[in-house]
Amino acid sequence: MAKVRICDQDDRTLTDKQEIAAYLATCGIDYEQWVPGHPVAEDAAAEEVLSAYAEEIEELKIRGGYVTADVIDVNPETPGLDQMLAKFNREHWHDEDEVRFIIAGHGLFHIHPLGRSVISIEVEAGDLIRVPRGTWHWFNLCADRRIRAIRLFQDMAGWTPRYTESGVDKNYLPVCFGITHLPHVAPAEL
């Protein structure tokens, strides 16, 4: 289940599912947990994963006007991983909702609702998060540098990041609760 931290002056952590969903809803973020229609391995083929969650995907497509669903797979061996991550770890927004259902691995979203405390949401397998278009946010992987997720799109072209250039992201350490974000560095490398 996701873990949510409300940063800044409110500094508190939410771990209860209902409490998380209720708080995120006040920020315009949808949070759900999905259970597959039939058992599916986390490394199953993309088509198999999409078929296991077909009911939820169809429902979400209708609700959000999404037309495409795919599976993204990122792991430490992914070529160009650091360049890819560097596009999303600065505060940005999209013309498109950012919808992710996590199949494996971990990720850390920071959300910056206007005039409100920044929140961090650590997601893991079973978590669905929908960040509406226009929401200021940024994303980091955790120390496992692995995430496999179903993505839904209204129009893939809208998913280009638009940077706020606020620099606010630098004020928040990308620390995951379960698994630290910071990669292990041997003393000799420091």
- How far apart are CB 30 and Fe ion at their closest, in Å? 15
Q: Which is nearer to Fe ion, 98 or 124 (CB)?
A: 98
Number of residues that bind Fe ion (CB under 5 A): 1
| Residue found by looking up tokens 């792991």 in the block | 75
- How far apart are CB 88 and Fe ion at their closest, in Å? 5
Q: Which is nearer to Fe ion, 98 or 122 (CB)?
A: 98
- How far apart are CB 158 and Fe ion at their closest, in Å? 11
Close Cβ partners of 62 (under 8 Å, ≥ 6 residues apart): none
Euclidean distance between CA atoms 20 and 169, whole angstroms: 22
Q: Which is nearer to Fe ion, 89 or 117 (CB)?
A: 89
Residue list 170-189, contact with Fe ion (CB under 5 A): none
- How far apart are CB 111 and Fe ion at their closest, in Å? 10
Close Cβ partners of 28 (under 8 Å, ≥ 6 residues apart): 113, 132, 135
Instruction: Give me the 89-108 binding string for Fe ion, x by CB under 5 A, dash otherwise.
Output: ---------x----------
- How far apart are CB 137 and Fe ion at their closest, in Å? 6
Q: Which is nearer to Fe ion, 98 or 127 (CB)?
A: 98
- Residue 123, strand partner residues: 107
Half-sphere exposure of residue 125: CA atoms within 13 angstroms, side-chain side: 13
- How far apart are CB 94 and Fe ion at their closest, in Å? 6
Euclidean distance between CA atoms 135 and 131, whole angstroms: 7
Residue nearest to Fe ion as judged by C-beta position: 98
Q: Which is nearer to Fe ion, 124 or 169 (CB)?
A: 169
**Element (H or E) spanning 21, and its range?**
helix 17-26
Euclidean distance between CA atoms 48 and 155, whole angstroms: 23
Q: Which is nearer to Fe ion, 52 or 172 (CB)?
A: 172
- Check residue 154 and give left, alpha or beta (phi > 0: left; psi -120 to 50: alpha): alpha
Q: Would you tell me which residues interact with Fe ion (CB under 5 A)?
A: 98
